[in-house]
Amino acid sequence: MHQPNSFGLFYTKLFSLKNLLRKEILKWRGLQIDKGTKLGNISCDWPNKLMIGAACDIQDGVDFRIWHPYDPESYIKIGNRVFIGHACEFVCNTKITIGDDCLIASRTTFVDVGHGIDPSSKMNLQDTVAEEIKIEEDVWIGSSCVIIKGVTIGKGSVVAAGSLVNKSIPPYQIWGGVPAKFIKNRE
């Protein structure tokens, strides 16, 4: 196996410096982030509404959207030792919390808001309904899942890849499918 050439080493150092600079700018804009967290190239218009715990790994392409940045009750909070894979999306109208020691695979979407469907009114004129999403500690969510408003995923649970979670999951259970259904208890 060959050693990296001098250009490769230079590029790696330059990339590390760029990531450090991006992280410092987000902190200056209000991001609360604890020590030891690796922060990839994320998107976040309101970093003052994002709290990230210690020793997390947030990969490139993660999008944090806060729809009500002036509401003190609207925020995204991520616990300690959490992994969030690339291209995940957090759409936060109220509150999204992720507990400690969770694994969230790539391309997973969290949306804490829904829309009215009354046929007597135009869709774009109907009210939205927002409810908190809560992921308790030690949860594993597979790739390309969708987690919608009002859902709590209990401690130690697993959600299979590609699932749509539209109701709460009790602790230590494995769920999967569209919509997600109980598969078995985690033993």
Residue 125 corresponds to which tokens in the numbers above? 């004129």
Element of type H or E holding 25: helix 6-28
Catalytic position from the list 2, 68, 86, 115: 115
Let me know if 68 is a catalytic residue. no
Nearest to 84 by CA among 69, 99, 68: 99
Query: Which residue's structure tokens are 């936060």?
Result: 92
- Write phi, then psi, for 19 (nearest 5 degrees): -65, -40
Q: Which residues have C-beta within 8 Å of that of residue 4, sequence separation ≥ 6? A: 12
Cα(48)–Cα(28) distance, rounded to whole angstroms?
A: 9
Instruction: List active site positions.
Output: 115
